[in-house]
Amino acid sequence: MIYANPSTSQSSEQIRSLSEKIALHQALFEELRTEIGQHIVGQKNLIDQLFIALLCNGHVLLEGVPGLAKTSLLQSLSSVLNCSFNRIQFTPDLLPADLTGTPIYQPKSESFKVKKGPIFASFILADEINRAPAKVQSALLEAMQEQQVTIGDETFQLPNPFLVMATQNPLEQEGTYPLPEAQMDRFMLKIHVDYPTKNEELAILRKHVNPSNKTVLKALLEPQDLLNIRALVEEIYMDEKIEHYIVDIITATRNPSAYGMSNLSRYLQTGASPRGTLNLARAAKAQAFLENRAFVIPEDLHRVATCVLNHRLQLHFEASLDAMDGRTIVQQILATLEVP
């Protein structure tokens, strides 16, 4: 496979300088992985995908059965980044004010004082988001999009960094309020969490059953450090051929017949939005950073495309009849399109 020479648009000196900066900061992420690994067994791909969301100022939707350490993972990530963490259990009787906060009347001063809700933390676990009604989901997603909350006549900025990891249980659908497609599109990544392997399960048993194995994670980065690294990721070089490849992937989700994939047309109702295009490009840059590279290659796109795009595709009923889902369709598109 031949990759475009990154020096065609940027000088070799620029690439070399950027590579040195990336190598320095990428080593910090290796330390983060090691530190988180003291508490979380396995889940390397999930940890990397959370890193990608952090580096791109995005949010994550997780789908998996209960008990797969989703809460523990986000808590561990907040600890090593020295950020605040709140877990919100979404229930049918939850109100938007339970999330964002509300003005409280103070009799002594005869005035209202805002009591901030649990949304005011850097890391938010929105547990079983589809159990709350649409107005609560909308309150959360507004905070995700604007990174601010309006309570009464006051507007409050949320912390930076700010990451929401929402979870859905794929097995139990009774009493749930599925997220509309427009709201699903607000999540940068949708990740399907699988069971651990047999060896990982054994390691989990030994680590958490024995009290002597409990560890306290130490903070390795400060929030400002993460913001500086984000700026560095934005500088990662993306060749024009890679840009065209991204657009081809997105367009193929909307009109697969134009790319020789007529067999997919009957499954797809609508394809990915332009937000999907931007998120795919940003995620590819973050993946290149994690691979200690100053430029994007097609493999970076292949690593992130499924979790960036699978939830952005609306499928016809025929797809479920043929056991086709968004992940399978994205993988078929990647396998069919010509790689630059």
pLDDT 10s digits, 166-179: 988 766 666 567 77
Instruction: Reduce the DSSP state of residue 170 to 3 states and report it.
Output: coil
Q: Which of 127, 140, 125 is nearest to 184 (CA)?
A: 140
Q: Pull the structure tokens for residue 35.
A: 């530190």
**Contact call for residues 175 and 91 (beta carbons, < 8 A):** no
User: Largest Cα–Cα distance of the chain, in whole Å?
Assistant: 73
- What integer is the mean pLDDT of 192-215? 79
* pLDDT of amino acid 2: 41
Q: Pull the structure tokens for residue 286.
A: 């973050």
pLDDT averaged over every residue in the chain? 86
Residue 7 pLDDT > 60: no
* pLDDT of amino acid 171: 65
CB count within 10 Å of CB 170 equals 10
Pairing status of strand 85-89 against strand 123-127: parallel
pLDDT digits (tens, 9 = 90+) for 231-252: 999 999 999 999 999 999 999 9
According to DSSP, the residues that pair with 123 across neighbouring strands are 85, 163
Query: 38-235 belongs to which homologous superfamily?
Result: P-loop containing nucleotide triphosphate hydrolases (3.40.50.300)
* pLDDT of amino acid 173: 62
Least confident of 37-51, 74-88, 156-170, 263-277: 37-51
Class of domain 1-22+236-340: mainly alpha
pTM of the model: 0.87
* pLDDT of amino acid 135: 84
* pLDDT of amino acid 86: 93
Which residue in this structure is represented by tokens 């988001």? 129
Q: Pull the structure tokens for residue 122.
A: 């850097």
State the Cα–Cα distance between residues 106 and 14, nearest whole angstrom: 58
Instruction: State the burial class of residue 251 (Cβ atoms within 10 Å of its Cβ: 0-12, 13-18, 19+).
Output: middle
Of the segments 156-170, 194-208, 300-314, which one has the largest average pLDDT value?
A: 300-314
Q: Pull the structure tokens for residue 190.
A: 């949708």
**Residue 280 binned pLDDT confidence (cut-offs 50, 70, 90):** very high
Q: List the chain domain ranges.
A: 1-22+236-340, 38-235
Name the residue with higher pLDDT: 246 or 151: 246
To which H or E segment does residue 62 belong? strand 60-63
**Residue 1 binned pLDDT confidence (cut-offs 50, 70, 90):** very low
**Contact call for residues 315 and 324 (beta carbons, < 8 A):** yes
Q: Which amino acid is at 79?
A: S
